[in-house]
């Protein structure tokens, strides 16, 4: 059996943990070589160890996606190691735990927008020449906070709305040159990002999650399945789209 990403090279940001790690594992299982980018070198190495154990080719890359110089070095290292990039998953992100405007400092706003939106711009810009070489694919992690209020605070919701606009414009600008770009919009997913909410039992949030049709958090692997579809040729006619995967949260 040939994997659905056999022979492809993928860069996945935020792949040391949660959804990014699940995407790295799914892609590797489908035959991709994965460059594992994360802020935390140990977390990135942990993902690489797991992939290597299963016989996949991968390498860890410590990077701060919000820092242009750091991103430039990471792009150079990945291209030196694997020679090309076919798939980019811009997944690294940080949460604001529902802070409204009056509880959000300028520094917090800059951090959330810096990682979630500027980071996506910096990473995409650094790898786009390589993606253009081979007609690559970009998958950006937005959130239901990209289309509705209530899934995050002011900075997070603004950043995730921005991701959808970024994705559409990227598809419009480079689609004719063979690069596809699409966004995934998860609802609540059980990861280290949401662990504090689950552990502290924020009643309002947990009640919201229980009231959606699926009545639970998603597992990261369920989100990775959608990322796989968008990264593979099975989605060859999908350009600039946003896919909600939320257990029905936004259907209500
Ligand atoms: P997670 O487990 O916290 O994973 C996020 C990863 O991004 C972490 O490994 C984190 O590294 C990394 N990261 C943070 N800042 C970075 C930076 N400046 N440079 C490079 N890497 C950085 O959270 P997750 O739930 O899997 O989130 C993944 C994506 O899904 C995010 O974009 C998030 O907004 C989105 N999302 C999550 C949910 C959910 O319910 N979990 C719902 C919708 C959308 P460190 O751990 O070292 O900080």
In a domain, residue 115? The reply is yes
What is the DSSP-derived secondary structure letter of residue 104? -
Span 95-105, average pLDDT: 97
Residue 193's pLDDT is what?
Answer: 95
Domain that holds residue 130: 9-245
Average pLDDT over residues 57-79: 98
- Taking the centre of ligand 1 as the mean of its atom positions, its distance from the CA of residue 7, in whole angstroms, is 27
Q: Is the CB of 196 under 6 A from ligand 1?
A: no
Q: Which atom of ligand 1 is nearest to the CA of 65?
A: 19
pLDDT of residue 77: 97
Residue 18 has pLDDT above 90, yes or no: yes
Ligand 1 touching residue 139 (CB < 6 A):
no
Q: Are 124 and 87 contacting, i.e. CB atoms less than 8 angstroms apart?
A: no
Q: What is the CATH number of the domain that holds 151?
A: 3.40.50.720
- DSSP conformation letters of 32-85: -EEEEEESSHHHHHHHHHHHHHTT--EEEEE--TT-HHHHHHHHHHHHHHHS--
> 202 in a domain, yes or no?
yes
**Which pLDDT does position 208 carry in this prediction?**
87
Q: Is the CB of 162 under 6 A from ligand 1?
A: no
Indicate which residue's Cα is closest to atom 19 of ligand 1.
Answer: 64
Q: Poorest-confidence range of 8-17, 207-216, 243-252?
A: 207-216
pLDDT over threshold 80, residue 201: no
Q: pTM for the whole thing?
A: 0.98
Which residues are designated catalytic?
Answer: 156
For 112-161, write each residue's pLDDT tens digit.
Answer: 999 999 999 999 999 999 999 989 999 999 999 999 999 999 999 999 99
The answer to whether residue 135 is domain-embedded is: yes
Q: Residue whose CA is closest, atom 8 of ligand 1?
A: 14
Say how many Å lie between the CA of residue 4 and the centre of ligand 1. Answer: 25
Q: How many domains does the chain have?
A: 1
The answer to the question of residue 110 being in a domain is yes
Please determine, for residue 204, whether its predicted confidence score (pLDDT) is greater than 90: no
In ligand 1, the atom with minimum distance to the C-alpha of 160 is: 34
Give the pLDDT mean for 168-179: 98
In a domain, 70, yes or no: yes
The per-residue pLDDT for 28 is 98
pLDDT at 137: 98
What is the structure's pLDDT at 36?
98
Ligand 1 centre distance from Cα of residue 94 (Å): 5
85: in domain: yes
Any domain includes 30:
yes
- Kind and range of the H or E element at 222? helix 220-231
Q: Which of 67, 75, 93, 114 to mutate to test the pocket of ligand 1 (most atoms within 8 A of CB)?
A: 93
- Residue 252 in domain: no
Mean pLDDT of the chain: 97
């Amino acid at each position: 059996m040939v994997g659905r990403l056999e022979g492809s090279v993928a860069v996945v940001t935020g792949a040391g943990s949660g959804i990014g790690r699940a995407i790295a594992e799914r892609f590797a299982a489908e035959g991709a070589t994965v460059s594992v980018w994360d802020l935390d070198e140990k977390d990135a190495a942990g993902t690489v160890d797991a992939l290597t154990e299963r016989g996949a080719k991968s390498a860890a890359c410590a990077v701060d996606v919000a820092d242009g110089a750091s991103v430039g070095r990471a792009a150079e290292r990945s291209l030196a190691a694997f020679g090309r990039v076919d798939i980019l998953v811009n997944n690294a992100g940080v949460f604001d735990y529902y802070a409204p405007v009056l509880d959000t400092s300028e520094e917090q706003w800059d951090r959330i927008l810096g990682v979630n939106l500027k980071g996506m711009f910096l990473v995409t810009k650094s790898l786009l020449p390589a993606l253009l070489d081979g007609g690559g694919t970009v998958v950006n992690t937005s959130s239901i906070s990209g289309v509705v209020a209530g899934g995050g605070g002011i900075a997070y919701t603004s950043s995730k709305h921005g991701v959808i606009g970024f994705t559409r414009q990227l598809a419009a600008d480079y689609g004719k040159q063979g690069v596809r770009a699409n966004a995934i919009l998860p609802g609540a997913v059980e990861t280290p990002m949401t662990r504090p909410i689950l552990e502290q039992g924020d009643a309002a949030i947990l009640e919201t999650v229980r009231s959606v049709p699926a009545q639970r958090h998603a597992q990261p692997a369920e989100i990775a399945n959608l990322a796989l579809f968008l990264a593979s040729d099975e989605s060859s006619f999908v350009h600039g789209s946003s896919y909600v995967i939320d257990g029905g949260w936004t259907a209500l």
